[in-house]
Structure 1
Amino acid sequence: MAVVSRHHASESELPPPGHVGLLAGTGPSGRLVHEEVPAKRLADGAYQLTATPALVRGCAAGDIVQLTADGGFQVTSRDGNVAIQAFVDTEFTAGEIQHLTAAFEPLAGVVEAPTHRRFLVVTVPVRAGFEAIEAAMANWHAAVPTADWSFGNVFADDGTPLNWWHTG
């Protein structure tokens, strides 16, 4: 199993303290790839994510996840944050990161980037509204057309909306 963190990949099967290994998919070699996501272990064995994953789909900072027997995870409680993941072939410039940060500050969003700056993660409260979130991303993408971005926890693998923001 390969493990990918925000800063490096390793062959370790155990994430460092303060992290949980979440299944991100299968690598080119057919091996499972896990991302080391900052998290707090809860008394019941579940984990509360303290950051939004860069590769893992389906969850965001604040969510509570339970690891499953098949190596995956299940979100048992959502904290109301939308995850956005952005990637570029080279690396994002400081100006591109600042532009995105400025776009999300009025929405109470947080932009995170690893030191290598090949991806960005945005965590924004769903209460900001999808219209405002999409407008911020469209404005930024117009300035950074080489970037690819997607919602990390809005759609299922088949493209259908998860609709978690309509429940409880």
Structure 2
Amino acid sequence: MESQHGATADELVAVTPVSDGRYLVCRTPGFFRGIAAGDVIDYDDRNKSAKVVERGGNVAVQVFHVGVPGNIIETLKKEAVKAGGRIDGELDRLVVLTFPVAVGFPAIESLLATLPEDGIEWEYGNVFDERGAPLAWWEGHE
């Protein structure tokens, strides 16, 4: 995985083997773009790349935070679960959320709009491609 600044890092993604070279993603990753929990992927170990072969119907959201009071993050997590989502990972400055696409983008964005502007950035992990174009996999899933 490579960041927009050219830095690279390895991330262990929780998967279950489905068949030869195919894996079911168990939890949405924090940094690996384009996939979410429930997706089935082909993984190329040599190139460290994954290709989604079947979408699981979940929306990945990464919430990065710095200097934000813990109670705000705890409230975010509780409200995400109340809205039908789940917490798939957490680091000191990151919360990884997974929502069934049926929850709807307006509900997800409404929840995230309650966060303070200072110290928080969020992004979808599997909604846009590298150029910012919508992937549109959710059409027919909503």
Shift of 1:117: 2.0
TM-score (normalised: structure 2): 0.85
Residue matched to 1:124: 99
Shift, 1:103, TM fit:
1.9
CA–CA separation in structure 2 for the residues paired with 1:63 and 1:157: 19
What amino acid does structure 1 have at the position aligned with 2:58? N
Matched, 1:46 2:22: yes
Q: What's 2:62 paired with?
A: 85
Q: Is the 8 A contact 1:47 1:65 kept in 2?
A: yes
Q: What does the per-residue CA deviation read over 1:95-124, in whole Å, with 9 as the maximum and x for residues that have no partner?
A: 12221122212321012443x421110100
- Sort the Cα spacing of 1:131 and 1:67 in 2 relative to 1 into closer, same or farther, 3 A: same
Identify which of structures 1 and 2 has the higher relative contact order when contacts are C-alpha pairs closer than 8 Å and 6+ apart.
Answer: 2
Q: How far did residue 33 of structure 1 move?
A: 2.5
Match of 1:65 in 2: 41
3-state SS of 1:153 partner = coil
RMSD: 2.3
Distance in structure 2 (CA, Å) of the matches to 1:150 and 1:27: 14
Corresponding pairs, count: 140
Q: Once superposed, which parts of structure 1, at least 4 consecutive aligned residues long, lie more than 6 Å away?
A: none
1:134 is the counterpart of 2:127? no
Structure 1: gaps spanning 5 or more residues:
1-23
In structure 2, distance between residues paired with 1:148 and 1:64:
28
Q: Is it true that 1:146 corresponds to 2:119 in the alignment?
A: yes
Match of 1:157 in 2: 130
**1:84 maps to amino acid:** V
Checking the alignment, whether the CA contact within 8 Å between 2:36 and 2:98 is kept in structure 1 is: yes
State the distance in 2 between where 1:87 and 1:135 align: 17
Report sequence identity in percent: 33
Cα shift at 1:128: 0.5
